Amino acid sequence: MRKSNYDKWPATHLEGWIAEGWDAIIDTLKKETEGHRTLVIDLYPGVFEDDVLEVFSKAFPEKVIDVRSWMKPEAEVEAMTARFMTDDVLFGYVTNLELQDYFRDEVLDKPRCELADSKVLVGSGAALFAPDDAVIVYADMARWEIQQRFRRHEVKALGIDNRNDAVSVQYKRGYFNDWRICDRHKDHLMPRIDFWLDTNSHQSPKMIDRATFRRGMEQTVQGPFRVVPFFDPAPWGGKWMRETCDLDRDVPNYGWCFDCVPEENSLLLEVNGVRFELPSVDLVLSETRRLLGEAVEARFGKDFPIRFDFLDTMGGGNLSLQVHPTTQFIREQFGMAYTQDESYYLLDAGKDAVVYLGLKEGINPTAMIEDLRAAQRGEISFPAEKYVNKFPAKKHDHYLIPAGTIHCSGHDSMVLEISSTPSIFTFKLWDWNRLGLDGKPRPINVERGKHVIQWERTTEWVNRHIRNHFTVLSQEDGILEERTGLHPNEFIETRRHTFSKTVQHHTNGGVNVLNLVDGEAALIESPEGKFAPFEVHYAETFIIPACVGQYAITPIDGKECMTIKAFVRYYS
């Protein structure tokens, strides 16, 4: 195992204005609101609202209004959101609600000056009632920290107190409803936000001003950057990431790492040497065209369409046998615009590593579904190898997995999963008689899966279309470029470069996402001097914004390196 040089806390370094601690934050806001200006503290769901209310109630006695008191009763909110929450344990339907829908009509109908004049408004949606000259503070929150708070049952949802709900139900409400509503609200509010508040570590709050936020976004989007990876155990989790990424040795395993999922990850700004944490989706919202490129924005709007994550089964177990929904199914059933196509790139593999991919020739679909149902009832162990291909896997293999293809990474594999962004739409068909980390069976979706499995994707089709399809595009002394996928059904293209000298790249007007899949370290530079040299290390995922254009990657110390690059496929 190589020595770890993986950076777990990548940050954009800049000079700016930052306040640390509640005393400094309150002093600043008191000065800003002299002359009876209204102060607004708008909150992303997942912020500890009660703590924030307590701080501002002490600082501004008799002025604080909790705007949650202006919302509709919880029973009305539950009824209003029921069609988006659905009765399913995992899946909902994408909301079309707006934040205004949560507030009572008699409040919305009152003039803002009458409601808010010289007051301190605190809560999600508070800025809806802000007079034009109000001082607006936005308390943002990274989704990964929100998920930790869900697990500890610490935070309320938008308009309801659901702290006692199952974690999966809390997450479902966030994913399908609350986060979408509040991201739209935040996006519209951005030009008016005077200060940004970081309470991800609620004992150490920090605040930056608008100019520092803008400088951080502009500096980040001008060159390569990384989001903050997060790691999590899994029932099938392994040991590879613990060593390679230098993680806590006391944690039994790490199954997941989200290394580039801007909707979930954080972005760190290091302001005057002090870390300030924001959701990385803020960069997507504020710098959409420079980050994604005009053509990608035209197709995906303000969605970052490419996801990189790690799946570690080295010393662990098989992933669940699974399938992802087709585009039509995900639109009809869940209201999503596109589906979760993906691929497995093997960063590493043990000698017995395997990948389950596609169906065997001549199987009986009816018999297979009946066996899956019987396994779900606990009557049999599903005979996976009777129905599903099992291929030996080795380091640097690449398996393409267009939606509808049954698949599963086996034990002793380290997978870099390259996929489109929808992140929870996995229909588990069989989980190897295994319980989740909570000691309960994980949800199985045979009845949904049977509608999306593409039964013609059998052994011959898999070998011809999606198993290790490498095409040499160019080769010269010290540089090899290969196309490795993805399948034509998928909108992502991937290119692999093996190089011992400088490789020239171009974004071609679209965002690039890369991982250093071999080699110790490489340096990314701009031939045009657009950004300072940026060093990346083994297994790190990094993003090259569309506006960068030309960039070059050079191995450090001349040692051979390998990158895999993903971008939205374009046609000419």
Q: What is the CATH number of the domain that holds 176?
A: 3.40.50
Residue with tokens 């949800």: 443
What distance in Å separates the CA atoms of residue 54 and residue 199, rounded to the nearest whole number?
A: 14
> Same domain, yes or no, for 169 and 275?
no
Neighbouring residues of 404: CB distance < 8 A, sequence distance ≥ 6: 323, 324, 325, 326, 452, 453, 454, 457
> Same domain, yes or no, for 287 and 401?
yes
Does 350 fall in a domain?
Answer: yes
Peptide bond into 516 cis (omega under 30): no
Residue ending a domain, among 167, 198, 221, is: 221
> Same domain, yes or no, for 200 and 289?
no
Give the 3-state secondary structure of residue 410.
coil
Burial of 118 by CB count in 10 Å (0-12 exposed, 13-18 middle, 19+ buried)?
middle
- The pLDDT, as a whole number, for residue 203 is 86
Please spell the DSSP secondary structure of 305-317, one letter per residue: -EEEEEEE-TTS-
List pLDDT tens digits, range 222-239. 999 999 999 999 999 999
Burial of 23 by CB count in 10 Å (0-12 exposed, 13-18 middle, 19+ buried)?
exposed
Tokens linked to 265: 């990850």
CB atoms near residue 11 (< 10 Å): 20
- The pLDDT, as a whole number, for residue 572 is 47
Does 533 fall in a domain?
Answer: no
For the chain, helix (H) and strand (E) counts, in that order, are 18, 31
> Same domain, yes or no, for 84 and 171?
yes
> Same domain, yes or no, for 192 and 296?
no
> Same domain, yes or no, for 59 and 203?
yes
- The pLDDT, as a whole number, for residue 138 is 98
Provide the Cα torsion 283, 284, 288, 290; round to 10°.
50
Is residue 344 left, alpha or beta, with left meaning phi > 0 and alpha meaning psi from -120 to 50? Answer: beta
What distance in Å separates the CA atoms of residue 60 and residue 42, rounded to the nearest whole number?
A: 16
Does 237 fall in a domain?
Answer: yes
- The pLDDT, as a whole number, for residue 262 is 86
Q: How many residues appear in the chain? A: 572
> Same domain, yes or no, for 237 and 217?
no
Edge to edge, the sheet with strand 274-279 lists: 12-14, 266-271, 274-279
pTM, 2 dp = 0.96
Phi, psi values for residue 10, rounded to 5°: -65, 145
* Angle, alpha carbons 43-306-240 (nearest 5°): 95
> Same domain, yes or no, for 265 and 189?
no
Q: What is the pLDDT along the chain (572 residues), one digit of tens a residue?
A: 566 799 999 999 999 999 999 999 999 999 999 877 899 999 999 999 999 999 999 999 989 999 999 999 999 999 999 999 999 988 999 999 999 999 999 999 887 666 777 799 999 999 999 998 999 999 999 999 999 999 999 999 999 999 999 999 999 999 999 999 999 999 999 999 999 999 999 889 999 999 999 999 999 999 999 999 999 999 999 999 999 999 999 999 999 999 998 888 999 999 999 999 999 999 999 999 999 999 999 999 999 999 999 999 999 999 999 999 999 999 999 999 888 899 999 999 999 999 999 999 999 999 999 999 999 999 999 999 999 999 999 999 999 999 999 999 999 999 999 999 776 789 999 999 998 888 888 889 999 999 999 999 999 999 999 999 999 999 999 999 999 988 999 999 999 999 999 999 999 999 999 999 999 999 999 999 999 999 999 999 999 999 999 999 999 988 999 999 999 998 64
Tokens linked to 155: 């935070």
Give yes or no for a contact between 193 and 177, defined as CB atoms under 8 angstroms apart.
Answer: no
The count of domains in the chain is 2
Neighbouring residues of 473: CB distance < 8 A, sequence distance ≥ 6: 481, 482, 483, 495
CB atoms near residue 355 (< 10 Å): 24
- The pLDDT, as a whole number, for residue 36 is 78
- The pLDDT, as a whole number, for residue 571 is 62
Does 103 fall in a domain?
Answer: yes
Give yes or no for a contact between 224 and 260, defined as CB atoms under 8 angstroms apart.
Answer: no
Residue ending a domain, among 465, 499, 520, is: 465
> Same domain, yes or no, for 202 and 283?
no
What distance in Å separates the CA atoms of residue 188 and residue 169, rounded to the nearest whole number?
A: 28
CATH assignment of the domain containing 379? 2.60.120.10
What distance in Å separates the CA atoms of residue 485 and residue 57, rounded to the nearest whole number?
A: 57
Give yes or no for a contact between 546 and 507, defined as CB atoms under 8 angstroms apart.
Answer: yes
Tokens linked to 469: 């399809």
Residue ending a domain, among 433, 465, 497, is: 465
Does 355 fall in a domain?
Answer: yes
- The pLDDT, as a whole number, for residue 2 is 62
Q: Which residue range forms the structural domain that includes residue 200?
A: 12-221
CA distances from 469 to 343, 393, 486, 496 (A): 12, 14, 9, 12
CA distances from 22 to 25, 40, 134, 197 (A): 5, 16, 20, 10
- The pLDDT, as a whole number, for residue 113 is 63
Whole-angstrom Cα Rg for the chain: 25
> Same domain, yes or no, for 175 and 274?
no
> Same domain, yes or no, for 153 and 248?
no
List pLDDT tens digits, range 80-133. 999 999 999 889 999 999 999 999 999 998 876 667 777 999 999 999 999 989
Residue with tokens 């190897």: 432
- Outline where 138-277 has alpha helix (H): 143-151, 167-173, 179-189, 210-221, 240-244
> Same domain, yes or no, for 334 and 188?
no
Buried b (16+ CB within 10 A) or exposed e, 247-265: beeeeebbbbbbbbbbbbb
